[in-house]
Structure 1
């Protein structure tokens, strides 16, 4: 009654994170255009977008890379697929860290390196490919310098902008359980550079820019990212507190 018990909208990220996301989102608009943001397709983990069989052969991984590249407006012909393997710990622990992919450029070719132990999960493979192809757009096309402190975070952010963000967002934290005879255990691993709340707020800006009041893809996000996205959308729509050009301050 009379709005007495109406809670004040809150932003899911800190003031510093909010400022960075909005500044870099605006930068992406300047670089790639508002139309790419508003008219681009949101890519889902369905057969519609990924119809090819994934059997861990070089050919199937190459096909997967080509498809992700096309979704991100990168010519697959310019990409060279490479593999590497990192040493794995003898026993799995509470938290494991390690790279899933690397990027480099040799001559006119962009080299996408994938870590062999991370390829069994096709969703993780797509997440890694999206991030590394993000490097092609930013580092390979000389839009930013590798010396910029936030270039890895920006590479995660561009996956959201290009409609591929669901995959790295859903792979931020992963729990794995294993059972080997008398021994069993679990491990937790982290992938990427944006937190779940930062991904959520980035998705909120993505949805608002596209005029999506109730995005159909929202249900596909992991719960913590989805919650942050809803909170971010509510906050911006209620307060207008956002520096992006598609938000009118109140």
Structure 2
């Protein structure tokens, strides 16, 4: 909630139009500021742990990759589950102003998967692969900020739309294809997990992949509409 309060303080000081927003718009503005801070943090940490640290390397001497964890990886998941739970409460509190059922499903799945990985130490690699997709969140939020600030026809709005499109393609489409490939390649290790962890490895990424594809089509439609207006 510190990020929420900081967004409110910074926005009220630097953005003159903040005071003229409705109460629900200010709440969503602050909420998106909080989600952007979390997204940057968790995306950086996820990229580091999955691709740059040796925690989830293919070194067989370290045992099955599905059982690996560290103090840093567990702490980071704790921060993330705290955010998703807080945001889920806010969505319920102000439903449907901050998002519909698709957001509730997304956050509920995230809370379940992250909490399990944090407490059990199982499947953290796949939890972090999915969390890399949060890298798209700041761009999506910026798009909303620009729209709310009356800058929908600006060049910044167009550029942001293009960036979101390619970021989404990489982080929420291509990355998930790699994730499913990794699951298939390490299936024997996944079989050793407890039933709950085994089911989460398949159910959560598959469900999120469907939602990502649906949202991607909406992004593509919106980008086409924006480009058509500027021609």
TM-score by length of 1: 0.28
- Greater percentage in strand: 1
TM-score by length of 2: 0.29
